[in-house]
Structure 1
Amino acid sequence: MIALIRATVPPELRERRQQQALELLRSAIEAPRLAPEGVPQPGASAGVTVAGAMVSLNTEQAKHLETYAQLTRAMEWQAQLRQAAVNSEKLVWVLLGMIGKLQERVSSLTGERDRLVAAAGEGASAATQRLNRAADQQVRAEKKLKHAREKQRQTRELATQLQDRIDAMTAELNRFRAGMAPDSGPLPAASATRGRPAHEIEDPDGNDIEAALLRVDVVIDADTDTVVRIFDELKRDGNPDLVQDNPLTSKDNQNNDWSNLADRARSAAAEGNHTAAASLYGLMADAATRQVGADHPDALTSRYHHAEEAGFAGDHAAARNLLATLVTDQTRVLGPDHPDTLRSRHFHAFRTGSAGDPTAARNLLATLVTDQTRILGPDHPSTLEARHDHAFTTAAAGDHAIARDLYKSLIVDQTRALGPQHRNTLTSRQNHAGETGLAGDPATSRVLYESLIVDQTRILGPDHPDTLRSRHFHALRTGATRSAAAARDLLAALVTDLIRVFGPDHPGTLTARQHHADQIMQADGWATARNLFAVLVTDLTRVLGPDHPSTLTARHQHADQTNQAGDSAGARDLLAVLVTDLTRVLGPDHPSTLTARDDQAHWAVQTSDWATARDLLAAWVSDLTRILGPDHPRILKARHDHAFHTMQAGDSAAARKLLAALVTDQTRVLGPDHPSTLRARHDHARWTMQAGDSAAARKLLAALVTDQTRVLGANHQGTLRARDDQARWTKQAGGPGSARGL
């Protein structure tokens, strides 16, 4: 009994239950008291009666022990039922959330299907299939919800029955402790009942409850697997995130034991379902920590895979945080030079960069490279891989010249250790060529790409993604250093091959078409490029959607080249619609939105719509001042443009006031001799004259001529223009003689 209590009773009740068991043991082995003095001693037949009474008492005590064992089992079942009820409730909430998401998805897909059908779009059939699948998933989820609620009801009923049974057994034990048998009659004869071992207890109600509990476990596991499967399908279709809730309910649960979790995690990872794999490895890590301790190799390994799959699933910040803690523990348990510690440090640095901090990642990798070189040697594959990632994160941090040099050194060692044809060597050469161009040497970059393309074509094949990518960058570097016509022809051939290999709608194909249009603009003129961008925008909208960043960028380029081709009004109208979409998608303060608004105002100028340009620039200056601050050089230029277009719109007085304030700020921020300050002073004098204050204008211009002659020289174009205005205005004020000396 004590062993049973230790195995089944909660710690807070264990001591009291053990004490009760010991008291029952003492009662069972103590002989009954003899009759009081003066009562005749029994004879032979009386001896049999006493012996029979002792046997009956021991039999009743055995029944007590049997009842206690049954009560213990019932309490175990009660705890399991409570856990089953909790799991069922969680399952219901998960299904309710899923059904809500599916209802939204069905509604959205219905609208998308109807829109594509009405427009006779190519995606109508695919949209219909997605809609049918979502509707089927909704029906299945609703059936599962009904099933889960039915199991909730059964669990509640079982819990009520079990509580009644526990109350009855508790009352029976209390009556025994009070000296009463369950029956108020005399003790039964010794032969009337016989105790059984625990494994032979005849308990049909308890057996039914045990069987029901097993059925509940099976149902909960089956429904949980269904939720995971539907969840995975929705994730693959791009449905918004859903939270899985599938905790370990028992260390004995067949579907949650260690080997089963490991198999499911490996299977999910192999299928590319990294979100599910991360969740399962997280459960494994928790289970291992509880069962064998946080420092056990199984726990450390599961924690690594948990972080690894979280990173593959795109949750880089979570992976980084998990690995930071893991590295600390592995350093303490395994030591800083252990291969597992080094591997976790590498992955931690990589995910730190992926989470948006390339500078920190670069620093972590620099230290790791030093340690791996000392421990593993400079030519070890792990050392070379860490050196590659160090160069990669250095480039991501903006240090392209340093990254270029790191790649150059790495290529020498990779060629020696791995061979010139190794994939990693080729990858480093490709990155080296790219960083050479970004470091300001596009000519050398072009030469490096030319050599690399020859080797990639021979080793990887002409249609390999890396070969095609190198051809793309080689064409861009050619356009930057040789001629747009040569780049145009290279990109035309590349686009043909990309369409053949990946298809016309592949992102790489669309990007190459965009760059091809750019080079055509430089080689053949704006009109041809405008027409190519018009077709490209249509395809990008169809493939990526109207709000995709690539689509928005292409729309801006299309408007720009429409303007350059001479259709300023058409460009202005295209840009007006684009600004609305950019504001909605990216926000009013996004750099792309602000740039488009600036172009919109200037293209209004090209159509001589001065009032519109003035109003657009006024709003743009206000927002830009809020974002960048009043003294930013871009703000000062925008204020000058705003004042100029205000004057062009016919309001010289307002323009004069705007320029007076601008000159004060430019003198303070840029200095009195800065070219922008001198230019603003000249315009201020002109618009003062336009406003009718000729005396003040002449005075402003006289001071400006003196300063420009000192700063720029007497023969500078700016000085000559100011002196010309000064002579003309003086002549107008006092006759030819007064202007003769000017």
Structure 2
Amino acid sequence: MRAETPEAEALALFLRAQVDASGLTMTAVAEKIRYSRSQVGLYLSGRVPEQSFVAELIRATVIEPVLRERRQAEAARLVHAASNPRSARAAAREGGHGLGAELEQARARQMETYERLTRALEQQAEIQEAARNSAQLVMVLLTMISALEERVGSLSAERDRLLGQPDYLQAPGDVRQQLGRALDQERRAREELARAREKQRHAEDLANRVQQRVLELTDELERLRALARGGPAGEPPSESGVRRGTDPGERSTADPVGDDIDQALARAAAVNDDRTLQRIAGELQGPPGWEPSSGSGPVIEPSGVVRDGQDNPATVEFFATLWGESRSACGTGDYRKAVRLLAELVQRCDRVLGGDHPDTLEARHQHACNVGESGDRAGAVLLFAALVVDRVRVLGGDHPDTLTTRHQHAYNVGESGDRAGAVLLFAALVVDRVRVLGGDHPDTLTTRHQHAYNVGESGDRAGAVLLFAALVVDRARVLGSDHPYVLINRHQHAYNVGQEGDRVGAARLYAEIAQDEARLGGPVHPHALLARSQQAYNLGRAGSWADAAQIYARLAADCARVLGPDHPDTLVNRYQHAFNLGKSGSAAEAARLLQGVLHDQTRVLGPNHPNTVATGRWHDHFAG
């Protein structure tokens, strides 16, 4: 709605400015002041509110006490003027023609300044988003280039190996073609990296210019408020639509890793091609009131699937039974049974509903998941690769189900042992999820976790440290520092720091994690015990044997009290306590303790268990 009077419009614009300055969403404001979102929307659009609403809104959006008092006084005057518009105008006329004209001019300038400040703040947010996307893209491309270099080396070695074979020129899968493609992809990745870095620099320059404009407009607004205590009319900022990418079409299956890299590079180019920064730069160079025309691209409707004229009730009931039984089997860990049930469900869905029906595609997805969980990771990789092609064709490359299937494909590639291939697939998926869902979406953060994990498991511990460090910061910002996912990422970050060689740094990180885990779950929570164990382990690897022995002694006592004296974790911590004590120089005491551990391990685990054998060997060593 529009305000009915200039005074009501001035009040609405003033209230909107307080909300914009606070950074709160309309939903958050509604929750804080206990009004419905629709009521808040009406009052911010021009309906004159009661004084209590205005007072609560100012209290919720203005934190600093002195400024809040000033805003309350200004708001009270605006509410009075909006509630009595005729008397306000009459008072202005009584002040004389010259003063009234001056006030009107000041209000007009204030309205224009409000609009320019609002646009500058919108530009600031757009620049920050573009800078974040470019920064994430730089990180992903650096990892992709590293993996591509490894892929080029592997393909070059394979090419050299095949050169001496007589059937090399007819070899299926043509290694030479894949090698040439990988070299071209590496070149393109480096080009996109250079463009992404240039966008970062451009964003920094624009951010400085816009920040300067915000400061200037804020000062101007304060000056105009001193001339006129009302607020100018204005329009609420419009919400921009989300641009969707086009369907990338079907993919070749001859070189699936290469296909995913091509898609990732195409979408990296799309991120770099985004003209947000160029548009804002043009706006900054244009006249103050100039705005570019905006429009939305064509909406591509997905092709529909026509069902049979009537559903067979018996068939529907049978489908529901298969779904329920398969989920039950999966929930109890009987993945082989789930695989059999879901394979039958896929066949039935394909025959009754058609291969492109959403239920058929979802059944195939669940079937592939359970194939992987049953231990057949290679089979799951093939199933997911085929499903990705079909979901891209039917739903489009940006559909959430397509992105989920690509995540599972990459996960199973990594679990099958091809960590380098998983790194490439996850890197490509990160680019697409950032573009489609945004950098803070839970699915984007999950994919970044898997990407970082596979980078570390592929041998690039330094790269994993950087990726997990960035992920910890982003997840803490989005979820809160005490969220379980943040703590998991901190564990992974500390683990890779230690694996990279910085054992002292890893021990320090684990000590901090142990404190937070104990604060949240108690000192004997499994995660707190794990962090303490890793702290002690890294201290020992760093040469601080005595410090490690002390931590292991307390751990052994806690595990015995909580888990029982014969629990494997209790026995391991007793062994580690004695081992580190011996390494610190107390060989006789270590031998005595290991004798007790050896006795209990033989009784609980058996004399031939690897842990029992290792304990006996170190007992003999320290006993001399």
Instruction: Calculate the TM-score normalised by the size of structure 1.
Output: 0.43
- The aligned counterpart of 2:440 is 547
Whether 2:486 is the aligned partner of 1:473: answer no
* Residue pairs, 1:472-551, within 5 angstroms: 472-481=365-374, 483-523=376-416, 525-551=418-444
Q: CA 1:682–1:431 in 2, change beyond 3 Å: closer, same or farther?
A: closer
Question: Offset of 1:235 from its aligned partner?
Answer: 12
Q: Distance in 2 between matches of 1:610 and 1:721?
A: 23
Q: CA 1:523–1:681 in 2, change beyond 3 Å: closer, same or farther?
A: closer
AA matched with 2:497: A
For residue 501 of structure 2, give the secondary structure of its aligned residue in structure 1. Answer: coil
Q: Distance in 1 between matches of 2:354 and 2:572?
A: 59
Q: How many residues align?
A: 363
- The aligned counterpart of 2:465 is 572
- The aligned counterpart of 2:314 is 420
Question: Offset of 1:515 from its aligned partner?
Answer: 0.8
Question: Offset of 1:630 from its aligned partner?
Answer: 1.5
- The aligned counterpart of 1:700 is 593
Q: Distance in 2 between matches of 1:703 and 1:538?
A: 55
Question: Offset of 1:117 from its aligned partner?
Answer: 7.3
On the 8 A contact 1:418/1:425 being kept in 2, the answer is no
On the 8 A contact 2:514/2:529 being kept in 1, the answer is no
Whether 2:93 is the aligned partner of 1:93: answer no
AA matched with 2:531: A
After superposition, give the CA deviation of every residue in 1:661-692 in whole Å (9 maximum; x if it has no partner).
22222232233333322222222222222333
Q: What is the aligned counterpart of 1:587 among 465, 468, 480?
A: 480
Whether 2:123 is the aligned partner of 1:110: answer yes
Q: Distance in 1 between matches of 2:419 and 2:614?
A: 34
- The aligned counterpart of 2:552 is 659
Question: Offset of 1:593 from its aligned partner?
Answer: 1.2
For residue 479 of structure 1, give the secondary structure of its aligned residue in structure 2. Answer: helix
On the 8 A contact 2:545/2:583 being kept in 1, the answer is yes
Q: Distance in 2 between matches of 1:667 and 1:503?
A: 55
Q: What is the aligned counterpart of 2:344 among 414, 436, 451?
A: 451
- The aligned counterpart of 1:625 is 518
AA matched with 2:442: P
Q: CA 1:591–1:114 in 2, change beyond 3 Å: closer, same or farther?
A: closer
Q: Distance in 2 between matches of 1:698 and 1:236?
A: 71
Question: Offset of 1:557 from its aligned partner?
Answer: 0.5
Question: Offset of 1:602 from its aligned partner?
Answer: 1.5
Instruction: Calculate the TM-score normalised by the size of structure 2.
Output: 0.51
Whether 2:353 is the aligned partner of 1:460: answer yes
Q: CA 1:694–1:107 in 2, change beyond 3 Å: closer, same or farther?
A: same
Whether 2:619 is the aligned partner of 1:606: answer no
On the 8 A contact 1:433/1:448 being kept in 2, the answer is yes
For residue 92 of structure 1, give the secondary structure of its aligned residue in structure 2. Answer: coil
Q: CA 1:470–1:639 in 2, change beyond 3 Å: closer, same or farther?
A: same
Q: CA 1:506–1:642 in 2, change beyond 3 Å: closer, same or farther?
A: same
For residue 617 of structure 1, give the secondary structure of its aligned residue in structure 2. Answer: helix
Q: What is the aligned counterpart of 1:677 among 546, 570, 595?
A: 570
Q: Distance in 2 between matches of 1:429 and 1:117?
A: 47
AA matched with 2:47: L
On the 8 A contact 1:685/1:700 being kept in 2, the answer is yes
Q: What is the aligned counterpart of 1:687 among 580, 587, 592?
A: 580
On the 8 A contact 2:588/2:622 being kept in 1, the answer is no
Query: In terms of Rg, which structure is larger?
Result: 1
Structure 2 unpaired stretches of 5+:
1-42, 62-113, 135-194, 200-234, 243-310
Q: Distance in 1 between matches of 2:582 and 2:375?
A: 50
Question: Offset of 1:107 from its aligned partner?
Answer: 5.5
Q: CA 1:105–1:669 in 2, change beyond 3 Å: closer, same or farther?
A: farther
Q: Distance in 2 between matches of 1:112 and 1:420?
A: 55
- The aligned counterpart of 1:730 is 623
- The aligned counterpart of 2:451 is 558
For residue 701 of structure 1, give the secondary structure of its aligned residue in structure 2. Answer: helix
Question: Offset of 1:596 from its aligned partner?
Answer: 1.2
For residue 91 of structure 1, give the secondary structure of its aligned residue in structure 2. Answer: coil
After superposition, give the CA deviation of every residue in 1:117-137 in whole Å (9 maximum; x if it has no partner).
786999xxxxxxxxxxxxxxx
Structure 1 unpaired stretches of 5+:
1-86, 123-226, 238-416, 732-742
Q: Distance in 2 between matches of 1:483 and 1:539?
A: 28
For residue 504 of structure 1, give the secondary structure of its aligned residue in structure 2. Answer: coil
Q: Distance in 2 between matches of 1:649 and 1:88?
A: 61
Q: Percent sequence identity over matched residues?
A: 37
Q: Distance in 1 between matches of 2:477 and 2:45?
A: 40
After superposition, give the CA deviation of every residue in 1:481-528 in whole Å (9 maximum; x if it has no partner).
473333222222221222222221111111011111122224461111
Question: Offset of 1:92 from its aligned partner?
Answer: 1.8
Q: CA 1:107–1:706 in 2, change beyond 3 Å: closer, same or farther?
A: same
Question: Offset of 1:586 from its aligned partner?
Answer: 1.4
Q: CA 1:553–1:108 in 2, change beyond 3 Å: closer, same or farther?
A: farther
Question: Offset of 1:537 from its aligned partner?
Answer: 0.6
RMSD over aligned Cα, in angstroms?
Answer: 4.2
AA matched with 2:48: V
Q: Distance in 1 between matches of 2:563 and 2:44?
A: 70
Question: Offset of 1:718 from its aligned partner?
Answer: 3.5
AA matched with 1:678: L
For residue 47 of structure 2, give the secondary structure of its aligned residue in structure 1. Answer: helix
Q: CA 1:105–1:499 in 2, change beyond 3 Å: closer, same or farther?
A: farther
After superposition, give the CA deviation of every residue in 1:25-55 in whole Å (9 maximum; x if it has no partner).
xxxxxxxxxxxxxxxxxxxxxxxxxxxxxxx
Question: Offset of 1:431 from its aligned partner?
Answer: 4.6
Q: CA 1:627–1:498 in 2, change beyond 3 Å: closer, same or farther?
A: same
After superposition, give the CA deviation of every residue in 1:318-348 in whole Å (9 maximum; x if it has no partner).
xxxxxxxxxxxxxxxxxxxxxxxxxxxxxxx
Q: Distance in 2 between matches of 1:716 and 1:421?
A: 53
Q: Distance in 1 between matches of 2:129 and 2:561?
A: 59
AA matched with 2:379: A
* Residue pairs, 1:130-145, within 5 angstroms: none
Greater RCO (Cα-Cα under 8 Å, separation 6 or more): 2
